[in-house]
Amino acid sequence: MPNRSLLSLFTGLALAAGATLFATERTEAADKTLTIYTYESFTADWGPGAKVKAAFEKTCGCTVNYVSVTDGVALLSRLKLEGTGTKADVVLGLDTNLVDEAKDTGLFDASGIDASGLKVPGDFKDDVFVPYDYGHFAVVYDTQAIKNPPKSLKNLVEGDPSQKIVIEDPRTSTPGLGLLLWMKSVYGDKAADAWTRLKGRILTVTPGWSEAYDLFTKGEAPMVLSYTTSPAYHMITDKTDRYQAAAFSEGHYIQIEVAGLIKSSPNKELARDFLKFMISPGFQDTIPTNNWMMPVSATSEPLPDAFSKLVVPSKTFLMSPDVVEKNRKAWIDEWLAATSTN
């Protein structure tokens, strides 16, 4: 017959050891920090960053730490400067126009995420980058300042120079790069001439989208380069349809935003968990009314009614990433030469 005192002692020690091990594992998980590089509007007070952080932290036993820069192009520039010494685990906020250049840095690893069920215009698929939202670029205008908005890119280029527009810099901003590629898609070899004509309508060029949209809503200019989804923000949040997107007869250039895993990350398993989370309802639910873009996968609730009132482009432009990578510098130089003050 076993000695009950000794048995109780051994059992108590085993339980204590197990409890200690469990507590240690939980503490180690809680001590992990997932560092995500992204853009400023994602982490803004009105952006999805805080909700995404709270939702993921409930499941990961970790802390999410955001490091934000002005815009997507600036994000890639920072990564290039930091190289293999970057502190990022995940980079969120590049787009398809930058993915080939990002791969060339050698900093990104294969995502390992099955994205086959996602609904992305143009059926974008990639083994490194995971798409998480998309939207078409558009000229958003103030209906109280402009009664006859431009109905085409040609109208914008050749229109009244007294009606100004704020645009973003293609060297630092993904919307700025999007406009550059939109102009190139429509005008081709004549893009430089089109930029020269448009120059008189440009009030200023900002580093990123946030600065441009802030100037627009403050009444500094009646037009801004933004997205077809931007009016939904005003309809839902501000309860006004004052700001609208102009439908362009030639079509609109699309932006597909992506996220990727940094090869040198010490938290790859946690980073992959986050990439999986990004295409789940917990993340996708925040996109329409926080990032004001279109989700790429199922959400737990239907889109708000305001989204049914948005411009639906008659045609979508999207250049392949390799074409953008080969020509981006030359096309930016062309833009600089055409828009510089003589």
Task: For residue 259, report the phi and psi dihedrals to the nearest 5 degrees.
Answer: -130, 155
Q: Are 38 and 132 in contact (CB under 8 A)?
A: no
Alpha helices in 241-320 (DSSP H): 268-278, 281-284
How do residues 220-237 score in pLDDT, each as one tens digit?
A: 999 999 999 999 999 999
CA distances for 145 relative to 21, 61, 156, angstroms:
66, 50, 15
Q: Rounded to whole angstroms, how far apart are CA atoms 106 and 120?
A: 26
How is the chain split into domains, by residue range? Answer: 33-134+256-306, 135-253+313-339
Enter the CATH code of domain 33-134+256-306.
3.40.190.10
Degrees (nearest 5) of the Cα angle 301, 305, 311?
A: 120
> In the structure, what pLDDT confidence band is assigned to residue 311 with cuts at 50, 70 and 90?
very high
How do residues 23-55 score in pLDDT, each as one tens digit?
A: 444 444 457 999 999 999 999 999 999 999 999
Which helix (H) or strand (E) is 294 found in, with range?
A: strand 294-295
Mean pLDDT, the chain, as a whole number?
91
Query: And the tokens for 166?
Result: 């704020």
pLDDT of residue 30: 53
The whole model's pTM is what? Answer: 0.88
> In the structure, what pLDDT confidence band is assigned to residue 9 with cuts at 50, 70 and 90?
very low
Q: Rounded to whole angstroms, how far apart are CA atoms 137 and 248?
A: 10
pLDDT of residue 341: 67
Query: And the tokens for 301?
Result: 């609730």
CA distances for 224 relative to 39, 50, 102, 137, 338, angstroms:
19, 27, 28, 10, 20
Q: Rounded to whole angstroms, how far apart are CA atoms 310 and 235?
A: 10
Degrees (nearest 5) of the Cα angle 284, 288, 289?
A: 115
What's the fold here for domain 135-253+313-339?
D-Maltodextrin-Binding Protein; domain 2 (3.40.190)
